[in-house]
Every structure is written in structure tokens, then in C-alpha cells.
Chain A
Amino acid sequence: MADPDDHSRGVALARAARRGDTLAMSDLLDHLTPYVGRICGRICGPAAAAGRQDAVQETLTAVFRGLRSLRDPEALYGWVRVLAVREAVRTARRDGRDTPAELAALPSPGDAQLAADIRDVLGRLSPEHRAVLLLRDVEGLDERAAAGLLGIPEGTVKSRLHRARTVFRRMWTA
């Protein structure tokens, strides 16, 4: 989530970019890249630097192509997030990283720091499971918002989240 100052700056840059100010576009690109990079990085997984760059580039290309058609620049971040999640899931599927790893291949808990372990386990989930887990349990979105972002029914979010939590728990305790 962007903090209020970041949000205001992003919206102001988007307005200037829509008026044809290409220097504002360059600044907007600087401004949005880390935000999009974080979303795509979480979904594409930790070992997928090239796939992540593809997803970030595709997302920002869609953002810049569509900037003039964005009705309300205040909605910038929500719109960018929708595009980033979709592109990241699409890229991860394309690159064949959507097959969960064998449980035996997982590191034992306690071998590394906790945060690294969590990232590692997340990286072994399928992109769909990772996306729904991040949106609901990390980003704190409700089922309806997550369903809207992922372009799937709310019921599917619910069942996918249940499955994702179960798989995460199993991997974590293996």
C-alpha cells in the first residue's frame, strides 16, 4: 500500500503525464517501479529475476498505454495493482513455475532465518495460491477485493485461500 504522501505524489505525476509531460512520465516510472516490483516479486517468486522483470515491464507498459484512459487518477494505485497481479500470475504460469515443489525438497525449518524461510515456502506455492495468500493474508484485502483483482469469483478466492493455507502449513511444518 502507498502511504498518503506517496499516493499524492503518484497521482500528481499521473495527472502531469496525462497532459503530455514526458519528464513527469519518467518520474512516474521511477515512482511506480518499486511498488510494481514488490507485487510481481512476491507472486513470481524469489528465484525468478528475469520473469519478475518481464512482469514488471508488461505491467508498466499497460499502465503507460492506458494512462490517458484512466478515468480517475485518484484510482491509480488500485488500477496498477490489478494490472501487476494479473501480469505476475500470467508470467509465472508462462515460465512454468506453477508446479509446487516436492515436500522432500524443502529446507528444514530453522536452517535459515524465519523471514527467509517464509519467502522460500511462498516461492514454492503455485502463483495462484501465492497471489491469493498475499492479497488476503499480507495485503489484508477482503474476498471481494481479492476476487476483483484476480478476475475470479469470490467462492473461488475462498476455496483457493483454504487450499493455499493448507499447503503453506504442510510445507512449513514438513
Chain B
Amino acid sequence: MTTDDPTAPLDPVRRLHVMAAGIHGAHVTEGVVDAPFDRVWAVMADLEGEFGRFQPDMHSLRVTRRDGERVAALARSRYGMRARFDGVLRPGWCWLQSRFLIVGMAAVADGAGATRVALTGGVRVPGRAALVPLGTRREPRLALARLRQRVGASR
């Protein structure tokens, strides 16, 4: 599925809303970044670089395995905790899950030269598709603001 194909059954931003609907307590922060899709996604998908600069809780992330769209990564939070993430990464779509955390990101071209972006995530409730209701709105909102700055800096 291409990310700006109007005939695709479901674009990535809509997909993120569907995922959030199935995860109790998840909230989607959505906004438009004033830059073309390729430039925005280059920042969002740079897991070992930019990702740690715009995601509020992430200090660094190291990809340990890539197999097609599948990724595994070791992350260190700003508070020193380490987590092993498994996930999917492809143009317009990133879903990462560790034992305690979820990070979801989506992007789709939005008209000429702009990109619609959606973010979700938070701390998992063990054994359920649910998030602890702490920071599920604030952190993605902060991430979107920082993402805009990072994309602006990448010109």
C-alpha cells in the first residue's frame, strides 16, 4: 500500500485511529506538518537518530534486527530504563511494542507539500489491549510539536 494512494482501502492515519479504537485508553494526536511526506517520514522513521529527539520519553534507540518490515530495537528512556521493542516499520507506518510501552506513528501525504501525521502510545496494562491513563494525551502532543521543529531543522 502506498501512503498517498486515494484508492488504498485504508491510509496509515486512518489505520492508527482503528488501532487506538481497539486499545482502551489510547488517544490519537493528529496534525498537519508543513513539509512533503518524504521529508517528514525521513525524520519519523529515523529510529536511531531523530526518533529520540522528538519522542519525549525516549533517550536513544538502537535497532538490533531488521527483517523486511519487522524491526527489533533496544531503547533507553530518559529515566534510564531499558526496553526491548518489537515492531513494524514501513513508509507511513510504525508500530512498536515492548513489555511495558507502545509507540504508534502514521503519516500520509496531505495535499500539495504537506503531511498529515498521527501519533499514539503510552504505558501498557499487562495482559490487555489497554494503556495506563497517564500522559496518553500530553506526550504525543509534545512529540508532534517537537517533530515539527525537527522537520523544520532538516530543511
Contacts and interface: CB of A to CB of B under 8 A. Distances in A.
Interface in A37-65: 37, 40-41, 49-50, 52-53, 56-57, 60-61, 64-65
A88 B7 CA distance: 15
A18 B22 CA distance: 10
Interface residues of B, number: 27
Interface of A is mostly: helix
Nearest to B97: A23
A41 B130 CA distance: 32
A61 B9 contact: no
Interface string A13-29: 00001111111011101
A29 B19 contact: yes
B17 A61 contact: yes
Contact of A40 (B9, B11, B21, B126): B9
A36 interface: yes
A148 interface: no
B66 interface: no
Contacts of A52: 9
Nearest to B121: A22
Nearest to B15: A29
A68 B87 CA distance: 22
Interface in B13-29: 14-15, 17-19, 21-23
Interface residues of A, number: 29
A8 interface: no
B142 interface: no
Contact of B88 (A26, A34, A37, A64): A26
A67 interface: yes
A33 interface: yes
Contact of A20 (B9, B17, B86, B130): B130
B15 A53 contact: no
B6 interface: yes
B86 A23 contact: yes
A36 B102 contact: no
A1 to B, nearest CB: 17
A23 B95 contact: yes
Contacts of B127: 19-20
Closest 6 CB pairs of A and B: A37-B9, A64-B22, A26-B95, A20-B128, A61-B21, A60-B18
Interface of B: 6-11, 14-15, 17-19, 21-23, 86-88, 95, 97, 102, 124-130
